[in-house]
Structure 1
Amino acid sequence: MPVPPSNLYPAFNIVRLSHIELIVTDLARSRAFYVDTLGMQVTDENDEEIFLRAMEERGHHCVILKQGDEPAANFLGFKVYADEDLDRAAEFFSEKGLATEWVQRAYQGRTLRTHCPQGIPLEFYAKMDRLEPIHQKYERYSGVKPLRIDHFNCFTPNVDESVAFYNEMGFRVTEYTEDEISKKLWAAWMHRKGNIHDMAFTNGVGPRLHHLAFWVPTPLNIIDLLDIMSTSGYLANIERGPGRHGISNAFFLYVRDPDGHRVELYCSDYQTVDPDLEPIKWDLTDPQRQTLWGAPAPRSWFEQGSTFVGSELREPDLKAQPIIAP
């Protein structure tokens, strides 16, 4: 199925991805990882949850860590332009036969909860409590010095269907991987905010969260984090990298948190603001698509991910497989 043309006038307007809620089994252990090791900033916490933001963010939170019995991802959050867009979004999802509900969320205004046809739980809001800027409070920078949340990547059992649906919501494809035999999409990168992606979709058992990613200042910050993790008990949590992606051109590192949630540290991709930007196509058999240079991705990177609360898993329709490290 060909990549759909950009939908520049969707039914409602999404600004960008905003936040994620992760279920973790030990809040103190997760706090030590996200705050003391990665360098996230705590904006509120109690016995049940911790709210975090990165250094450039003015919104109250981009990550919520919530105490639970089993690790999982609860939902992905997106900011819309205005309150009226929430009503338009509710109508859009209802017309698709997808259940919607209005929920009360701490530090957010009116919030719509729903899910996409593939089962990824989604949350939309227009207003979140704003905090003072801290990007010049350099004494607070630590760990990998995360500046902002950058994107989500999700396993989906049908990438073509996911791309078609998110295209309806105004997400635009920047790069994609096509299986030359079936002519189906194996992966795709889609954005709202003018970089490579807010959402990416990877062929696999899904829906599952493959990873969340934070933008960091430079590749040197990633090297610093590797030194920190290798000498503070987190050596085994380093999964893949450092390296440079062919897709996105980004310098990257993938690590796993104490519950196995995958986190990418990411920088150096490129601008995609122009509405007539043509997507870049990659062949599934091209080894440089995933790693321009660096070690190839391990099997865990293709097979493991975080389940979404309440979502039923399905085997992928496409059985093609890229190169996997031995």
Structure 2
Amino acid sequence: MPIPAPNLYPDFNTIRLSHVCLNVSDLATSRKFYTDILGLQVSDESDSHIYLRAMEERGHHCVILQKSDQPGTVEVMGFKTFDEDDLDKAETYFRSKGRPTSWVERPYQGRTLLTSDNMGIPLEFYHKMDRLEPIHQKYALYRGVKPLRIDHFNCFSSNVDDSVAFYSDFGFRVTEYTEDDESKRLWAAWMHRKGGVHDMAFTNGKGPRMHHVAFWVPTPLNIIDLLDLMSTTGYVDNIERGPGRHGISNAFFLYILDPDGHRIEIYCSDYQTVDPDLEPIKWDLKDPQRQTLWGAAAPRSWFEHGTEFVGAEVKDSDLAATPIIAP
């Protein structure tokens, strides 16, 4: 099935991904992991929430840790629009697609539209977020893996073709994709708004579930430093996959799990995709360098483990094709 042509003039203008709210069991345990190990900075905190940002970010938060009786689930994924009018246009758009819409109050954000995609992933759109002072040159604050910014989401979808068609219609563009040669269906796809390889990606599997949230770091050496830190501070078992380099995206990567099982990718060295007529790159599902240009093959957990979204019904995929899995 061919990937859809990009919609260069969508009904509303999404700039980029913005933030994610993760449900956790113990705020103190999660705070230690996200600040001392990853190196995110606390913007604010209470008995129920911790708001975090990365070093280059001026917005108030890119991660919200929420104490919950449903730990290991995802509350919502957030995106920023170009202007205020885009929020009203987005409401009209999602209603026309039969998706639920409501206006919600979010601390440190202006008007916020809550909706969901065709698979039930909860999404929120906003334009204004409180701005904080720049800290990217406050080098005394740098610790952990030294994350610069949130980079992308990757989600399991029970039908990648349908997910790609839905996001493409409101302006996301495919940069790379994997096609199952037998069925000619999409097994995975990478889609962007901000001019990198992806803001949102979809992988075939039981879904919707979050596969991972990724953070951009300056160099591969930051990832090596993180591995040394995790292996000597009690987190060696939280290292799931890597380091290595992806064929898709060309990114140097590491995958780790937080204390509640949310998967995090540490990521650098992908490429620019600003040109609107850039042709997507196609990969064969059986190409071993697709997922790993070099490095150990992905373990089975990487294809099977994900964190569910609150309120979203999870369905099995009917696409049985499988890539190479480590023994």
**TM-score, length of structure 1 as denominator length:** 1.00
Q: 2:68 is matched with which residue?
A: 68
Matched, 1:110 2:111: yes
In the other structure, the counterpart of 1:159 is 160
| Partner-residue secondary structure (3-state), 2:168 | helix
> 1:308: Cα distance to partner?
0.2
One-letter amino acid of the counterpart of residue 92, structure 2: E
What is the CA-CA distance between 1:5 and the residue it aligns to?
1.0
- 1:256 is displaced (CA, Å) by 0.2
Equivalent residue, structure 1, for 2:177: 176
1:7 matched to 2:7: yes
State the one-letter code of the partner of 1:288. Answer: Q
Mapped partners of 2:319, 2:117: distance in 1: 20
Task: Name the Cα RMSD after superposition.
Answer: 0.4
Q: Distance in 2 between matches of 1:55 and 1:229?
A: 20
Task: Measure the CA separation in 1 of the matches of 2:96 and 2:148.
Answer: 37
SS of the residue corresponding to residue 61 of structure 1 reads: coil
Determine the structure 2 residue equivalent to 1:34: 34
Matched residue, 1:303: 304
* Mapped partners of 2:47, 2:118: distance in 1: 34
Distance in 2 between the 1:22 and 1:51 partners? 11
1:130 matches 2:131: yes
Q: How big is each residue's C-alpha offset from its partner over 1:262-296, in whole Å with a ceiling of 9 and x where there is no partner?
A: 00000000000001100000000001000000000
Does residue 46 of the first structure (1) align with residue 43 of the second (2)?
no
SS of residue in 2 equivalent to 1:107: coil
Percent of aligned positions with the same letter in both sequences? 73
Aligned to 2:16: 16
State the distance in 2 between where 1:46 and 1:97 align: 36
The CA distance in 2 between the partners of 1:174 and 1:235, in whole Å, is: 33
**What is the correspondence of 1:166-315 to structure 2 with a 5 Å cutoff?**
166-315=167-316
SS of residue paired to 1:288: helix
SS of the residue corresponding to residue 2 of structure 1 reads coil
Q: CA deviation at 1:242?
A: 0.1
Q: Which moved more, 1:196-205 or 1:316-325?
A: 316-325
> Runs of 4+ in structure 1 displaced over 3 angstroms?
none
Paired position in structure 2 for 1:95: 96
Query: How many angstroms does 1:86 deviate by?
Result: 0.4
Instruction: For 1:145 and 1:321, locate their aligned partners in 2 and report how far apart those are by CA, in whole Å.
Output: 35
Q: CA deviation at 1:122?
A: 0.2
Instruction: Give the counterpart letter for 2:212 in structure 1.
Output: H
Give me the whole-angstrom Cα distance separating, in 2, the residues matched to 1:250 and 1:99: 36
The residue number in structure 2 matching 1:148 is 149
Q: Name the CA distance, whole Å, in 2 between partners of 1:214 and 1:238.
A: 15
TM-score normalised by L of structure 2: 0.99
Aligned equivalents of 1:164 and 1:103: distance in 2?
Answer: 27
CA distance in 2 between partners of 1:315 and 1:170 (Å): 27
Q: How far is 1:169 from its partner? A: 1.1
| Number of equivalent positions | 326
Query: For 1:287 and 1:299, how far apart are their aligned partners in 2?
Result: 15
Q: Aligned partners of 1:169, 1:76: CA distance in 2, in Å?
A: 16
In structure 2, C-alpha distance between the alignment counterparts of 1:104 and 1:49, rounded to whole Å: 15
CA distance in structure 1 between the aligned counterparts of 2:6 and 2:116, rounded to whole angstroms: 22
Matched residue SS, 1:255: strand
Deviation at 1:231, TM superposition (A): 0.2
Residues in 1 aligned to 2:23 and 2:215: alpha-carbon distance in whole angstroms: 18
CA offset digits 1:177-203 (Å, max 9, x no partner): 000000000000000000000000000
Alpha-carbon distance in 1 for matches of 2:186, 2:229:
38
Range with bigger deviation, 312-321 or 196-205: 312-321
Q: Which amino acid aligns with 2:16?
A: R
Query: What is the deviation of 1:317?
Result: 2.3
